[in-house]
Amino acid sequence: MDDHAVGSQRHLSRRSLIATGALAAGALGASAPVGTAFGPSPARAAAGVTKKVTIYAEQLPGGLFGYGLAPGQATVPGPLLEMYEGDTLEITLVNTTNQRLSIHPHGVDYSTESDGSPLNASFNNPGETRTYVWRSREMFAAAGRRFMPGSAGYWHYHDHAMGTDHGTAGVAKGLYGALIVRRRGDILPEKQFTVVFHDMTINNRMAPETPMFEANLGQRVEWIAIGHGNLFHTFHLHAHRWADNRTGMLEGPSDPSLVIDNKDLNPGSSFGFQVLAGEGVGPGAWMYHCHVQNHSDGGMAGIFLVRNADGSMPPGAEEAIHRFQGHTHTHGS
């Protein structure tokens, strides 16, 4: 777990940034493992700890803004943040820009001072540094046999102050990222991809510049999908599926959850799941895309490249990538 903990992401920043399908990673958005000692084993139990993270909000080329774990390393989306139920994250946000901005999380606990909203005067003025505290916890008993839910989930964070009191300009320009709160015992993935459906873009890019996510056959891959902006979307992944519940896996034979391969991904919502790359279907260039027809035609599509188990390219994949790079934005035959 150490390789995966947020506290250690600072020295893993280059790898974890790449893993999020970050803008800086180039046209194909090549991804790499977040950590090394990081197989499909149950998460280790641990007492709740407090981790301190410094995040830098920076202006990027092309009118974009990003969050990063070190100066000069901001990306779109920002770094993937993770914690276990019971942990606390102390986020020191350094605003290196000339804009008012903030960081507002979903799913975790925070006081009004850490709300990240102008409503509560919780934001960074230009050049200002401010600390936001995010807490999490396990489920706890309510009356009867029921439990008030804990914090575990596939969440996200975003600006809530640039442009409008809801951070509309900040979100539009790339100030967003994924936040995972795990329950102890959760299965850890080998690779992680952050996919943000945001107006007509994926991670603020359009095909063929959308991220190409890569894994080897059989690797346990975790997808975190986030919606933003003004439009409705549906996330579809070819040749893979997941349970529409907290983990994406069935809790047992009597788990009643829907199994799906297409899910609404609307502004402010997020979900996550794990698949075994190419399991049962083989390697290849598999599409992920918005299933709204004029969105996919307009560029909301990308490639999930499942390589052979040894990392080599499977037959046909190069040709598919070539087609993708040349044949997007088709609005009619």
Which residues from 46-75 bind its own copies, rule CB under 8 A?
A: none
318 binds its own copies (CB under 8 A): no
Candidates 55, 180, 221, 285; binder of its own copies (CB under 8 A) is 285
326 binds its own copies (CB under 8 A): no
Phi-psi region of 281 (alpha: psi -120 to 50; beta: other; left: phi over 0): alpha
Query: Helix, strand, or coil here: 198?
Result: strand
DSSP class of residue 124 equals B
Please state, in angstroms and rounded to a whole number, the distance separating the CA atoms of residues 54 and 264: 33
Q: Supply the minimum distance, in Å, between the C-beta of residue 62 and its own copies.
A: 20
Site string for its own copies, 144-183 (x = CB under 8 A): xxxxxxxxxx-x------xxxxx-xx-xx-----------
Site string for its own copies, 203-242 (x = CB under 8 A): ------------------------xxxx-x-x-x-xx-xx
Q: Supply the minimum distance, in Å, between the C-beta of residue 86 and its own copies.
A: 12
The residue (of 69 and 226) whose beta carbon lies closer to its own copies is 226
Range 253-272, binding its own copies (CB under 8 A): 253-264, 266-271
- Going by C-beta distance under 8 Å and a sequence separation of 6 or more, which residues neighbour residue 282? 217, 306, 314
Candidates 109, 131, 311, 318; binder of its own copies (CB under 8 A) is 109
Query: Helix, strand, or coil here: 134?
Result: strand
DSSP 28-58: TT----S-SS--S-BPPP----EEEEEEEEE
Candidates 17, 289, 304, 307; binder of its own copies (CB under 8 A) is 289
Could you tell me the two tokens for 70?
């070190």
The residue (of 9 and 122) whose beta carbon lies closer to its own copies is 122
299 binds its own copies (CB under 8 A): no
Candidates 205, 221, 284, 307; binder of its own copies (CB under 8 A) is 284
DSSP 221-238: EEEEEEEESSS--EEEET
143 binds its own copies (CB under 8 A): yes
Please state, in angstroms and rounded to a whole number, the distance separating the CA atoms of residues 279 and 100: 46
- In angstroms, the Cα distances linking 99 to 57, 59, 74, 94, 114 are 10, 9, 16, 12, 18
Range 5-44, binding its own copies (CB under 8 A): 40-42
